[in-house]
Structure 1
Amino acid sequence: MSAATEKIRSTPLDERYEKAHAAWRNLTIRKTVRARLGEMAAGPERCMYCGESRGATVDHFEPVARNPLRTFDWLNHLLACTPCNSHEKGEQFPLDADGHPLLIDPTAEDPFEHLLLTLSLGVYRPLTPKGQATIDVLGLNRRGLPNGRMHARKVVELALHAWDRAHAHARSDETQKHVQTVQDQPFADVCQSMLRQAFSPGADLVFSDAPDLLALLRRDDLRAALLR
Structure 2
Amino acid sequence: MLTPISYSKENKDLIELKKSEKDFTHKSWSNDDLTPIKEAIKKHYHKIQKGICPYCKQQLKSDHGRYWDIEHIIPRSHAPNFMFEPKNLCMSCVECNSEKSNKIVTSSSAKRTYPTDTQKYLIIHPHLDNYEEHLLVIEAGLFYYPLKPKGRKTVEVCGLSRFYEYAGFGNNENIFKKIEALSIAASSVEDDTIKQEILGQITALALRGMVENKQSND
TM range (shorter): 0.5 to 0.7
Aligned position for 2:20: 10
Aligned position for 2:210: none
SS at match of 2:25: helix
Q: Which runs of 5+ in 1 are unaligned?
A: 148-199, 211-228
Q: Deviations over 1:144-181 (max 9, x none)?
A: 5995xxxxxxxxxxxxxxxxxxxxxxxxxxxxxxxxxx
CA gap of 1:111–1:208, structure 2 versus 1, over 3 A, is closer
Aligned position for 1:91: 102
Q: How many pairs align? A: 152
**Equivalent position to 2:53, from 37, 47, 58:** 47
2:14 & 2:59 partners in 1: Cα distance?
30
Aligned residue identity for 1:50 = C
Q: Deviations over 1:75-116 (max 9, x none)?
A: 221121110112x01122333488822121122201233234
Question: TM-score, normalised to structure 2's length?
Answer: 0.55
2:145 & 2:27 partners in 1: Cα distance?
39
SS at match of 1:91: coil
Shift of 1:48: 1.4
Structure 1 contact 59–80 (Cα < 8 Å) conserved: yes
Structure 1 contact 116–126 (Cα < 8 Å) conserved: yes
Aligned position for 1:35: 43
Question: TM-score, normalised to structure 1's length?
Answer: 0.53
Structure 1 contact 2–72 (Cα < 8 Å) conserved: no
Shift of 1:57: 2.1
SS at match of 2:154: helix
Q: Which moved more, 1:105-114 or 1:75-84?
A: 105-114
Residue 81 of structure 2 is aligned to residue 69 of structure 1: yes
Structure 1 contact 115–126 (Cα < 8 Å) conserved: yes
Shift of 1:61: 0.9
Aligned-CA RMSD value: 3.6
Structure 2 contact 26–83 (Cα < 8 Å) conserved: no
CA gap of 1:109–1:118, structure 2 versus 1, over 3 A, is same
Aligned position for 1:113: 133
Q: Percent identity?
A: 24
Structure 1 contact 24–71 (Cα < 8 Å) conserved: no
